[in-house]
A and B are shown apart, each in its own frame.
Chain A
């Protein structure tokens, strides 16, 4: 029986028979894959499946949101009006812009424009950071008003308990979203560093693309959260 070393001699094996085509000895090709194309397809599929799990993860909270919104429309309207629509709208614009710059960053990586990859990624990170700073001030305001659910919660009104329920879900959803922003920010920091070190090429830029997928996902979550939380009954305010 040949020993383990024998298997290293021919990492590509009969891969060309599978239709992937030999991609040469790319430095990023991991040992257990036959070709770079197979590695990229595996990574991309993995990321999409991960995003599915994320949908289910947020789904539990959104289910609770849906149920209580149907049960307590008045409290939902009241709670929603407590949120600062200007900051929320500003953050929405910021995040959508960051998705654009992220897409441009992926495009730059794809065409091999290394400097622009780094620049677009840095701008994306800056926008993400802006979002988190604004979110911090929103949370701070809630803290000062004793609107954070728990023992110190204070709210005047006929639906105080249910407004607390609303705010619990507000903090649950936006907190989870902010956590994802922090993760995404860290991910982009690593990717930017890698791009700076010229680790990507048009042939292999999978990490940029997958971080982009993740970033867009976090963005889309916010695009759902903004109307669900901030725009429940704004007609009452502006109409």
Chain B
């Protein structure tokens, strides 16, 4: 490991002061600014989750009232989905790494990139205001007519926040897509692109095609709630199920906005730490696109018990099974990448292992829910809660941390403690499984979601779950501690601490404002690792 001092001029110290950050057009700084806001949202969402888990340690509704409980889990969902999971990997790691990885000076539209951060923050403020004013109790899904007519909480304010934040996501997707098309360095052909870039491309596709639909759907909801327009109102002949269709037309693909970029991260990290080319590069690349496309055709599996036609339910069930294929392609290819690799046991790889294990369980339990008959039993139970947490936290968040640890030396120029990071990965993995695995059993036994009290026989499993959540909290806090510590005391990382391939490692850490002293020229495929390199390291 190199022990040189940090480079004299880099993007972090080239300008100073708050204004130099708030007016920056540098994609790397914008990525850091997203990291700050998302971290705040993550801890906020964590606090709400803590309330939920404390309430559920006893069968009686004794910690908070039923109404407060509804608000807690709703705000947990809203904060985590719209302000953590959606922006986490694309807006933080994507913003930071994408131009570096393709050898560009910046994204195609740096001003729009900054604008999308501001839009995100404004959306976040609206949502925060809604929370401060008493919160919202509809569930993050805002189902009508409860949300439009009956709820006595801040649906409108939250809706406006989500609506605004959506445009941030759209603009980021647009920016990335144009960047990948038009900003690649000479020689960086499509099939030399790192797989993270392919994943971001697929994600952009979903953001561009899906997010406008949720925006207009929330817009219609707002018109109905604020002005009394009737679009989903059954009293006028409107159809609440239409809302569900439109909502999930975005919100199911949104799961792929959350999981595709972490999948890209996994490909980067696993190649680096097994010192091998990713097995089946083009299969992994195209499986990202396949997931993005298939992902648009499965939304109605959220509506199996909402009274949709049994024939369409069969089609959607079949397509939901089909989307497992490209996901499995990725998992198998990552495993094959590890096979006969020279595994280098470093913290980023621990997060990857966590990802693969948890994503596997999350993905397979998704197939349970895609089965028409079984879904009738499992719908709206804790089984569903456990399933999507395995994907969204076990998958997306583990992948995010894999990427954050992998690129942290590049972002800050500093190394974090490998031992602490490994311990954190272990804590999060154990804590996560302890939190959510019991919920599969609870759901299977019939415990419904979204209630603040439950039958006595469910208590043991719920206590286990709450205990796991506290381990999870310790794990996440530990990450914050050693990463902040590394900012001040971490040893200088040098340009390429992981001896990774990829253009981002060919420039100094932290990079200069323009990324590269001169535009790089690419003349080889991604992931040219030699198995013996590890011995040198």
Residues of A within 8 A of B (CB): 1-4, 6-8, 10, 13-15, 17-18, 31-32, 34, 38, 41-42, 45-46, 49-50, 52-54, 56-61, 63-64, 67-68, 71-72, 75, 149-151, 153, 161-162, 164-165, 168-169, 171-172, 176
A172, B177: Cβ atoms under 8 Å?
Answer: no
Whether B255 is near chain A, meaning CB under 8 Å from some CB there, is no
Residues of B within 8 A of A (CB): 7-9, 11, 14, 104-106, 108-110, 112, 170, 174-175, 177-178, 181-183, 186, 208-213, 215-217, 219-220, 223-224, 227-231, 233, 235-239, 242, 246, 508, 512-514, 516-519, 521
Q: How far is the CB of B488 from chain A (nearest CB, A)?
A: 22
- Nearest A-chain residue to B9, judged by Cβ: A3
With known contacts A149-B230, A150-B228, A164-B230, A54–B212 Cβ distance under 8 A: yes
List, in ascending order, chain A residues with CB within 8 A of B11's CB: 4
Question: What CA separation (Å) do A92 and B167 show in the bound complex?
Answer: 30
Question: What CA separation (Å) do A54 and B174 show in the bound complex?
Answer: 12
List, in ascending order, chain A residues with CB within 8 A of B223's CB: 168, 172
With known contacts A4-B9, A61-B220, A149–B182 Cβ distance under 8 A: no
List, in ascending order, chain A residues with CB within 8 A of B238's CB: 68, 165
List, in ascending order, chain A residues with CB within 8 A of B9's CB: 3-4
Q: How far is the CB of B318 from chain A (nearest CB, A)?
A: 23
Q: How far is the CB of A18 from chain B (nearest CB, A)?
A: 5
Q: How far is the CB of B49 from chain A (nearest CB, A)?
A: 31
List, in ascending order, chain A residues with CB within 8 A of B208's CB: 49, 52-53, 56
A67, B228: Cβ atoms under 8 Å?
Answer: no
Which of A49, A59, A60 lies at the interface centre, i.e. has the most chain B CB atoms within 10 A of its CB? A60
A57, B212: Cβ atoms under 8 Å?
Answer: yes
Question: What CA separation (Å) do A168 and B226 show in the bound complex?
Answer: 13
Question: What CA separation (Å) do A144 and B478 show in the bound complex?
Answer: 63
With known contacts A32-B104, A53-B174, A64-B220, A7–B212 Cβ distance under 8 A: no
A1, B182: Cβ atoms under 8 Å?
Answer: no
- Nearest B-chain residue to A153, judged by Cβ: B228
Q: How far is the CB of A36 from chain B (nearest CB, A)?
A: 13
Contact for A161 among B170, B220, B235, B519, CB less than 8 A: B235
Q: How far is the CB of B205 from chain A (nearest CB, A)?
A: 10
Apart from A42-B108, A53-B174, A172-B229: 15 A-B pairs, beta carbons within 8 A: A1-B8, A1-B517, A6-B518, A13-B519, A38-B182, A42-B181, A45-B182, A46-B175, A49-B178, A60-B217, A60-B220, A61-B220, A64-B246, A68-B237, A172-B220
List, in ascending order, chain B residues with CB within 8 A of A61's CB: 216, 220
B106, A32: Cβ atoms under 8 Å?
Answer: yes
Contact for B212 among A1, A46, A60, A172, CB less than 8 A: A60
A1, B7: Cβ atoms under 8 Å?
Answer: yes
A58, B508: Cβ atoms under 8 Å?
Answer: no
